[in-house]
Every structure is written in C-alpha cells, then in structure tokens.
Amino acid sequence: MTDNSIPGPMSMVKVDGSKIKHLREEQGLTQLYLATAVHVTTDTISRWENKRYPSIKKENGLKLAEALNVPLEALMEEDEVVEPSPIPPATILDPPKPPTGSTQSRIKKIWPLLILTLTLFCVVVLFAWYSLYSSPELTITAERNAPEHCIAGQPFPVMIRITGAPEDKPTAIIIRENLPANATVVKISPEVAAGGMKRDMIKWLKKIHEAATFAYVIRVTGGEGDKVGFYGTAAISGESGLPPPIGGSSITNIGQFHWADGDKDNIISDSEILAVHDRYNEIEGIDVDIDTIEEIWLGSGYKWNQTTKSFEILE
Amino acid sequence: MSISPAMRYRPFVILLSVIILNVFTHSLASAADNLVSGKYVSSSGTDIVLNLTIQNPAPANLIVEQYLSPENIIIDTAPQAKKIDAAQGNIKWLFKNTRNGILSLTLRLENPLTGDISAIVRYRAPQDGAFTELRIAP
C-alpha cells in the first residue's frame, strides 16, 4: 500500500466515501455519532460519504478510522491518486509563501495604522500649503529718497516710498519720520491727521493699497559742509515689536548746489530733470519749485548767489 | 542595447525648447527696451513731421530734441517747443505724463529744409528708471 498522506502541517488523505458509509451502517452508527467523534458537522460526514474520493485532513481521517474501529488504510481506496506529491523540505528553495492566517491577520492589524499615517501626512501637507500660500506673512518695504545735497534755506523734497502692501485689501501703515533739529517743514503730502505733526516728527497713519508715496518739503539751516540726518520707521498698524527703520538715503549735505543737480556740475541735465518729473509729478500737494528747475534746465547752467540767496541762470 | 526613438530625439527636443525659450525671452526684452520708436513722416519741404510711437508701459516724461542746420528759419512748432535755439538749430520739447500711442511733432520752416535733420528722444524706463536715449534720422 502506498502512503497516501501529504507530509507537513496540513497532511491530507483521500478516503473512499462508500467505504465510510458501508462501515458506519454495518456498525449501526449514525452520521451524528461520527460527526461528534471527528468534531465535524453531520453535513461534512454526509459529504465525505457521498463523494467518491473525498480528500480530508489526515487528523480527521485518523479520528474517523478510530470511530469506525478500523485502521486508516481501511478507509482508503487502494489505487487512488492523492494530493500533489510532496516535495522534500530539503529541496524547496525559498518558495513564495502564500499568506497564512497569521500574515493575513497581521495585514488586518496594519491597515488602520496605514490609514492613520496617510491621514496625518495629508493633514501636514494641507497645513504646510495653507501656511505658505493662504496667509503669507505681510511685510512692507519703506525707502527714503532724499537729495544728496541741498542749499541752506532752500526748500528740497524728501520722499518715502512704501511697497509690498496687499493689492486687494487696505493696509493701515504708520510712518514716523523724525525731523532734523535744524529743519522747517514747508509742505507735507498726504496731509497728516490732527496731532500727526509735531515740531520734531511727522506721523502718518494711512490705509494704503499695494504701494504709496509719502513726502514732505523742508528747509534747513546750517553752513556748507553740514550734514542733515534723517531717521524714521514704517510699520503695519497693530504689529507687535519694534517698527523697522526706513531704508534708503539718510543724509543730505549742505552745499552750494541745487538739490536736483545730482552730479553737482551746475547744470540740470535732461536725465536730472526727467528724474525730478518722474519722482515728484505724481505727488499731490508737493511743490518742488519745478519752474525754477526747468529754467535752469533750459539754460546752460546756474550759479548759487549766496548774497542774494537766489540762482543765477546762465544763458 | 537599443534606444527608443523618444530617447534618441530627446536631446534635440530639449535643445529646440531652449532655443525657442531664448528667442521668446529675447524678444520680450527687446520689446521692453524699445518703449519709444520714432520715424520722420516728412523730412523735406517746409513741414517736417516726426511721429513717435509710445508703447505700454509708457515713460512718464519724455524729452525730444531736434537738430537742423541753423540756416533754416523756424516759424512754428506743434506742440509748442520748450526751447528754440535758432543760432544752434536746436529745438527742445518736454512732454509730461505721456500716454501710449502716437505723438506727432511738427516743425514749420520759412523755406524748404536745407541740410540734414535728426532727433534724440530721452526718457527713463518706467520699470527701473534707466535713462534711455534714442536717435532718429530720416
């Protein structure tokens, strides 16, 4: 007789259904008795009996044989072909293992963890996106444009340009510009609110869109070679911390040259008059004495007369 | 080892893309440089007409200077020039708050133009304030 069992943890044997039925009936046993003895259901016993060569676990086969008081071989068909022949364990070269019960349960345990990890990842990504694009930190840039030089007693403009404010909503800006001790304010644009103008400081509180220009015209006293220093801060209203200082030019030298004569050659050139117009044309309420500047530009030069305190235009 | 057609032509596709991008950006830069262009519509006879084409974004202010032989006698200019130096044959305009479009400058002479005429347009680029000078001749 051949060994019909399959070695390994799941050994199977092929039994003859008709033999089982015959032996049971011969001994006057019921299917319920066999089912109870083998620890299976009566349906299983019925299925084994009615199939010609059912393949059952060897363990069940042994219990069944014991219940029928016969050796296991007595239940088997002699020439039956059993389950695929076993491969000796030594010849198996790392075969792919099908998911066993324990692996499946492990996967079942991992799934919630995977879902949780993915959800957390999505939350982090969304938060990062929101932080970067939805509520960017608002920063403004403030730059002062003061001439490099001026003549004592002659008015000259100082301009503060604010950029970087949002375009779509108004932003309240506070500008505090400390005036030099020897300065007298001639004009301010835009006008400041009540209390915004002090002897030594101009304070603007304005709502702006995207960019804005604040300017003033002053006269200073002093002698040739003296320096006029500027300092101020610009910040968004309600922001905590020290307001950042206004960048750009911070010193104007007192001398003998018109403030619009950038290269101090006693001529107001085309590029110099274009710069004056480009910078100050749009600022309402700021009079930079453009008529005098144009007269100098149309002439061949100028000379500052210290005695008469006026410009002599050369034809 | 065989190379797929897509892999074989990939360097050429990249090179072509770079060339197209370069040409495109160069043309954009050139367009930005030439915010103002000019042409003499009439450069003979008694009426000398110079047309300036101003692109967007238009320079805020423009200076136009025309040079002609001092022997020409200028009767009138339109628009009115800021300065006419008849002895030097030099006429100067200053245009403020200019807009994009065509700006036409006319010189009316007593007699048909003798000698050459030319012009220089000066402005500051609105983007960066760079001073630009453009020379125009018939």
Q: Cβ separation of B131 and A277 shorter than 8 Å?
A: no
Mean pLDDT, chain A, rounded, equals 84
CB B124 within 8 A of CB B59: yes
Higher pLDDT, A181 or A238: A181
Same domain, A149 and A234: yes
Q: Is residue A49 part of a domain?
A: yes
Does the pLDDT of residue A179 top 60, yes or no? Answer: yes
Mean pLDDT of A98-104: 59
Same domain, A56 and A150: no
Does the pLDDT of residue B8 top 80, yes or no? Answer: no
Look up the CATH number of the domain holding residue A170.
2.60.40.10
pLDDT for the residue A89 = 45
- Residue A135: which pLDDT band, with cuts at 50, 70 and 90? low
Q: Domain boundary at A75, A95, A111, which?
A: A75
- Residue A97: which pLDDT band, with cuts at 50, 70 and 90? low
Same domain, A158 and A62: no
Look up the CATH number of the domain holding residue A63.
1.10.260.40
* Percentage of residues in chain A having pLDDT higher than 70: 86
Indicate the range of A48-52, A252-256, B121-125 predicted with least confidence. Answer: A48-52
Q: Which of A148, A146, A137, A171 is nearest to A246 (CA)?
A: A146
Q: How many domains does chain A have?
A: 2
CB A167 within 8 A of CB A138: no
Q: Cβ separation of A275 and B124 shorter than 8 Å?
A: yes
Same domain, A145 and A258: yes
Same domain, A156 and A237: yes
Same domain, A145 and A256: yes
Residues of B in contact with A275 (CB under 8 A): 124, 129
Q: Is residue A194 part of a domain?
A: yes
For residue A38, the number of C-alpha atoms closer than 13 Å in the C-beta half-sphere is 29
Q: Cβ separation of B96 and A273 shorter than 8 Å?
A: no
Q: Is residue A130 part of a domain?
A: no
Same domain, A66 and A179: no
Q: What is the DSSP letter of A197?
A: B
Q: Is residue A33 part of a domain?
A: yes
Q: Which of A34, A33, A43 is nearest to A61 (CA)?
A: A34
Q: Is residue A84 part of a domain?
A: no
pLDDT for the residue A315 = 79
Q: In terms of C-beta density within 10 A (0-12 exposed, 13-18 middle, 19 or more buried), how is residue A3 classed?
A: exposed
Does the pLDDT of residue B22 top 60, yes or no? Answer: no
Does the pLDDT of residue A92 top 70, yes or no? Answer: no
CB B121 within 8 A of CB B67: no
Looking at CA atoms only, how far is residue A274 from chain B in angstroms? 6
Most confident of A17-21, A27-31, B81-85: B81-85
For the whole model, what pTM was predicted? Answer: 0.62
Q: Domain boundary at A44, A59, A75, which?
A: A75
Indicate the range of A62-76, A102-116, A155-169, A257-271 predicted with least confidence. Answer: A102-116
Mean pLDDT, chain B, rounded, equals 85
Residues of A in contact with B83 (CB under 8 A): 298
Q: Is residue A54 part of a domain?
A: yes
Q: Is residue A51 part of a domain?
A: yes
- Residue ranges making up the domain that contains A182: 141-263
Asked if B39 has any chain A CB less than 8 Å from its own CB, the reply is no
Mean pLDDT of A23-49: 87
User: pLDDT digits over B24-66, tens only?
Assistant: 444 444 444 579 999 999 999 999 999 999 999 999 999 999 9
Does the pLDDT of residue A251 top 90, yes or no? Answer: yes
Same domain, A160 and A242: yes
Q: Is residue A29 part of a domain?
A: yes
